[in-house]
């Protein structure tokens, strides 16, 4: 196997061809296949010359390519193969390899004899070390496939999480979830465009055709949405008003930048990259600072935010330092999608918990809001809401529901005679008695004062039997409370639901029936029959209610 030696030459600028002799600034050995030689280029504007030699001849027809990577910002390189015409090699990203989107693939001439010399001329200025290695076309293609699979897997995970967040948004209609779903989508598309594999995904190939415009637009949009998300998620308006202002200013700056790009297109490319990165460099410390401050001030979810973002910031900083040639961590760039997936997973988990808590609070509020504190039964509002939703579903008219309104007779006297606490106990026991007569799926609610209402699914004739059984369960057996034996009777008005009838109309008919029952006397059941006068069922048992 060949081993490649590269020497960086110190030359004058503006040489037309390879220098005949020049001092060697640096010498690296790519060694055996798969080993990478790093050449750190001196920081100056002009051209660099590299002298390349192999230690073993490349046989005719042998599949060996020289790969140059890492020199972002350099233009095309000129390759001077031994004993052949020089040729200009463009960056492989332009219609070539995706893996090497910042590199060049030079096919070495067949029959390059050992120790014969090739030259490379690299123009421009770069802060990054140039990486050289020998590889076969098969190895390069394999690397590309692995890279594409990795990038598409990361993209798929981000999109699935975005869909989940969108689902939570639809349930709660909170900008918090929508901004995160948007961020995940924009960040996922940006990462895929950056990896050069967007063409693999249906619908994204068009965006990839916009080149840098599409890519930068997605990056700027992702940062803007992340700012909205941070502002809501860390409760900045409440906990950190000044931080909230800073985040909002940065959001509008990103939006303005995005608008410039969308209207300016390629005309603004010259400065967009610089301004975009400068804005990003301002944004990252602000986000970190507000997260730490919000965490100190007790923002519920700030720890998740820090947990998710810290590894991503660390890997991003490493990747940037690698690009600047400050550290040798080529893996940092490859680890970026993984760190982004971890960040998204941590925050998606936090948001799911946020949504679940919110749901629990809403259910709890509903439960306590809709209940009468004394008896624990539904209150009047909850009952009306329930009937209203049945009405809207059409089930109130489709099936026959009986609504009973009950009023304890002379309850005021019980309060006066035994005290309000005993009155309360009577109300609690009254509920138990009513419930004992009903079926499990009948609904019972406490009405204001000393009243109850029952909704039961039964035909009218069965309903009045039920009403009578309820009245009898009071009249035939006194209540025993604190050693007192208290006779209590009820008056009941009832009506059956009619097709198309509104809830207030149904309740008004029941109330009217109750009034006629009370008008007749105590311990009476009165039924409202549509189109007829209220019918009285059963006889008044005045004596039962007054026999204390
Ligand atoms: N102990 C107790 N009393 C209550 C409560 N809510 C209302 N009351 C009392 O219930 C009584 C309701 O009286 P009314 O329904 O107007 O009349 P009544 O005394 O039952 O007489 P009739 O219904 O005409 O037979 C009032 O004395 C209220 O003070 C409560 O939560 N606990």
Cβ neighbors of 45 (< 8 A, separation 6 or more) are 124, 125
* Same domain for 325 and 201: yes
Distance 491 CA to ligand 1 centre (A): 13
| Residue 425 CB less than 6 A away from ligand 1 | no
Question: Could you give the C-alpha distances from 477 to 245, 415, 488, 489, in angstroms and in order?
Answer: 70, 19, 8, 10
Half-sphere exposure of 198 (CA within 13 A, CB side): 25
Look at residues 340, 366, 392 and tell me which one is the last residue of a structural domain. 366
Question: Could you give the C-alpha distances from 95 to 90, 100, 104, 132, 189, in angstroms and in order?
Answer: 9, 11, 12, 21, 20
d(CA 241, CA 467): 60
Determine the straight-line distance between the first and last CA of the chain, rounded to whole angstroms: 111
Query: Quick one: which of 95, 102, 195, 92 has its CA closest to 149?
Result: 195
Distance 450 CA to ligand 1 centre (A): 5
Look at residues 135, 152, 183 and tell me which one is the last residue of a structural domain. 135
| Residue 411 CB less than 6 A away from ligand 1 | yes
- Smallest CA separation from ligand 1 atom 30, residue: 424
Q: Which atom of ligand 1 is nearest to the CA of 416?
A: 27
Look at residues 82, 106, 135 and tell me which one is the last residue of a structural domain. 135
* Same domain for 162 and 131: no
- What is the DSSP-derived secondary structure letter of residue 298? T
pLDDT tens digits, one per residue of 450-460: 999 999 888 88
Beta bridge partners of 526: 493, 536
| Of 264-278, 420-434, 468-482, the least confident | 264-278
545 pLDDT band, cuts 50/70/90, is very low
pLDDT the model gives residue 536: 53
Alpha carbon of residue 351 to chain centroid? 6
Q: What is the phi/psi pair of residue 39, to 5°?
A: -115, 120
Question: What number is the average pLDDT over the span 195-202?
Answer: 76
* Same domain for 471 and 390: yes
- Smallest CA separation from ligand 1 atom 13, residue: 412
* Same domain for 281 and 164: yes
Strand, coil or helix: 397: helix
* Same domain for 273 and 384: no
* Same domain for 349 and 310: yes
Cβ neighbors of 490 (< 8 A, separation 6 or more) are 406, 407, 408, 409, 430, 470, 471, 474, 475, 523
* Same domain for 520 and 535: yes
Whether 373 maps to a domain, the answer reads no
- Smallest CA separation from ligand 1 atom 15, residue: 450
Q: Are the beta carbons of 368 and 382 closer than 8 angstroms?
A: no
| Residue 410 CB less than 6 A away from ligand 1 | yes
d(CA 428, CA 425): 5
Strand, coil or helix: 23: coil
Q: Which atom of ligand 1 is nearest to the CA of 422?
A: 1
Specify the pTM: 0.59
Strands (DSSP E) found in 24-148: 24-31, 37-39, 47-54, 65-69, 77-80, 87-89, 103-107, 117-123, 130-135
What are the tokens at 300? 């519920």
pLDDT tens digits, one per residue of 261-281: 989 887 887 788 788 888 988
Whether 252 maps to a domain, the answer reads yes
* Same domain for 509 and 440: yes
Whether 216 maps to a domain, the answer reads yes
- Smallest CA separation from ligand 1 atom 18, residue: 410
Whether 418 maps to a domain, the answer reads yes
* Same domain for 536 and 396: yes
pLDDT the model gives residue 359: 86
Q: What is the CATH number of the domain that holds 419?
A: 3.30.70.270
Beta bridge partners of 502: none
Q: What is the CATH number of the domain that holds 105?
A: 2.60.120
d(CA 180, CA 305): 12
Q: Which atom of ligand 1 is nearest to the CA of 374?
A: 31
| Structural domain that includes position 228 | 142-366
Above 90 in pLDDT, residue 107? no
Whether 342 maps to a domain, the answer reads yes
* Same domain for 455 and 312: no
pLDDT the model gives residue 380: 92
| Residue 374 CB less than 6 A away from ligand 1 | yes
| Residue 445 CB less than 6 A away from ligand 1 | no
| Residue 452 CB less than 6 A away from ligand 1 | no
- What is the DSSP-derived secondary structure letter of residue 109? P
| Of 66-75, 253-262, 428-437, the least confident | 66-75
| Residue 519 CB less than 6 A away from ligand 1 | no
| Residue 421 CB less than 6 A away from ligand 1 | no
Q: Any idea of the CA torsion for 293, 296, 299, 303, to the nearest 10 degrees?
A: 90
d(CA 52, CA 202): 42
Distance 406 CA to ligand 1 centre (A): 12
Largest CA distance in the chain: 129
Distance 444 CA to ligand 1 centre (A): 19
d(CA 289, CA 274): 23
d(CA 45, CA 243): 42
d(CA 424, CA 429): 9
CB atoms within 10 A of CB 64: 20
pLDDT tens digits, one per residue of 230-263: 999 998 988 899 999 999 999 999 999 999 998 9
Q: What is the CATH number of the domain that holds 270?
A: 1.20.1070
- Which burial class, exposed, middle or buried, applies to 540 when counting CB atoms under 10 A from its CB (0-12, 13-18, 19+)? middle
* Same domain for 147 and 130: no
d(CA 178, CA 167): 9
| Residue 420 CB less than 6 A away from ligand 1 | yes
Distance 411 CA to ligand 1 centre (A): 5
Which span out of 182-186, 262-266, 520-524 was modeled with the highest average pLDDT? 182-186
Q: Which of 414, 429, 449 to mutate to test the pocket of ligand 1 (most atoms within 8 A of CB)?
A: 449
| Residue 490 CB less than 6 A away from ligand 1 | no
Whether 374 maps to a domain, the answer reads no
ipTM of the complex: 0.96
Number of domains in the chain: 3
* Same domain for 183 and 67: no
d(CA 178, CA 305): 17
Q: Are the beta carbons of 40 and 129 closer than 8 angstroms?
A: yes
Whether 104 maps to a domain, the answer reads yes
| Residue 372 CB less than 6 A away from ligand 1 | no
Beta bridge partners of 479: 486
Above 60 in pLDDT, residue 548? no
Above 50 in pLDDT, residue 538? no
Alpha carbon of residue 238 to chain centroid? 22
Q: Which of 371, 376, 411 to mutate to test the pocket of ligand 1 (most atoms within 8 A of CB)?
A: 411
d(CA 423, CA 419): 6
Whether 372 maps to a domain, the answer reads no
- What is the DSSP-derived secondary structure letter of residue 370? T
d(CA 275, CA 269): 10
């Amino acid at each position: 196997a060949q081993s490649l030696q590269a020497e960086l030459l110190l030359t004058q600028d503006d040489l037309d061809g390879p220098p005949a002799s020049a001092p060697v600034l640096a010498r690296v050995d790519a060694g055996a296949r798969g080993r990478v030689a790093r050449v750190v280029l001196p920081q100056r504007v002009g051209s660099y010359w590299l002298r390349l030699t192999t230690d073993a001849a490349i046989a005719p027809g042998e599949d060996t390519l020289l790969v140059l990577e890492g020199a972002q910002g350099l233009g095309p390189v000129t390759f001077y193969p031994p004993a052949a015409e020089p040729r200009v090699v463009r960056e492989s990203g332009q219609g070539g390899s995706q893996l090497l989107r910042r590199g060049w693939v030079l096919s070495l001439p067949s029959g390059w004899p050992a120790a014969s010399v090739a030259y490379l001329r690299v123009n421009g200025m770069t802060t990054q070390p140039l990486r050289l290695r020998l590889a076969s076309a098969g190895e390069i293609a394999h690397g590309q496939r692995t890279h594409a699979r990795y990038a598409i897997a990361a993209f798929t995970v981000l999109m699935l999480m975005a869909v989940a967040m969108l689902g939570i948004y639809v349930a709660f209609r909170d900008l918090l979830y929508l901004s995160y779903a948007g961020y995940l989508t924009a960040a996922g598309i940006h990462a895929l465009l950056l990896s050069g594999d967007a063409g693999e995904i249906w619908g994204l190939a068009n965006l990839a055709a916009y080149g840098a415009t599409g890519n930068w637009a997605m990056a700027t949009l992702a940062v803007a949405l992340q700012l909205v998300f941070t502002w809501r998620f860390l409760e900045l308006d409440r906990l950190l008003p000044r931080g909230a202002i800073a985040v909002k200013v940065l959001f509008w700056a990103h939006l303005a930048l995005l608008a410039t790009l969308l209207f300016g297109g390629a005309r603004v490319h010259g400065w967009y990259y610089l301004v975009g990165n400068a804005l990003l460099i301002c944004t990252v410390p602000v986000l970190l600072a507000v997260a730490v401050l919000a965490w100190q001030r007790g923002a519920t979810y700030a720890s998740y935010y820090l947990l998710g973002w810290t590894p991503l910031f660390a890997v991003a900083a490493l990747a940037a330092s690698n690009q600047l040639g400050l550290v040798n961590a080529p893996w940092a760039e490859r680890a970026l999608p993984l760190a982004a997936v971890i960040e998204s997973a941590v925050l998606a988990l936090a948001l799911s918990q946020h949504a679940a808590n919110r749901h629990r609070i809403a259910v709890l509020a509903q439960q306590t809001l809709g209940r009468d504190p004394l008896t624990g039964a539904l209150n009047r509002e909850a009952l009306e809401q329930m009937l209203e939703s049945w009405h809207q579903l059409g089930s109130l008219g489709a099936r026959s529901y009986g609504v009973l309104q009950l009023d304890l007779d002379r309850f005021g006297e019980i309060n006066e005679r035994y005290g309000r606490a005993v009155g309360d106990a009577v109300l609690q026991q009254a509920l138990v008695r009513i419930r004992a007569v009903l079926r499990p799926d009948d609904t019972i609610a406490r009405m204001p004062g000393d009243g109850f209402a029952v909704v039961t699914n039964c035909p009218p004739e069965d309903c009045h039997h039920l009403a009578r059984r309820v009245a009898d369960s009071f009249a035939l057996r006194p209540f025993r409370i604190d050693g007192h034996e208290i006779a209590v009777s009820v008056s009941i008005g009832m009506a059956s639901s009619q097709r198309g009838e509104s809830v207030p109309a149904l309740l008004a008919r029941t109330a009217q029936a109750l009034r006629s029952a009370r008008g007749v006397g105590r311990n009476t059941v009165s039924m409202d029959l549509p189109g007829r006068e209220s019918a009285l069922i059963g006889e008044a048992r005045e004596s039962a209610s007054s026999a204390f």
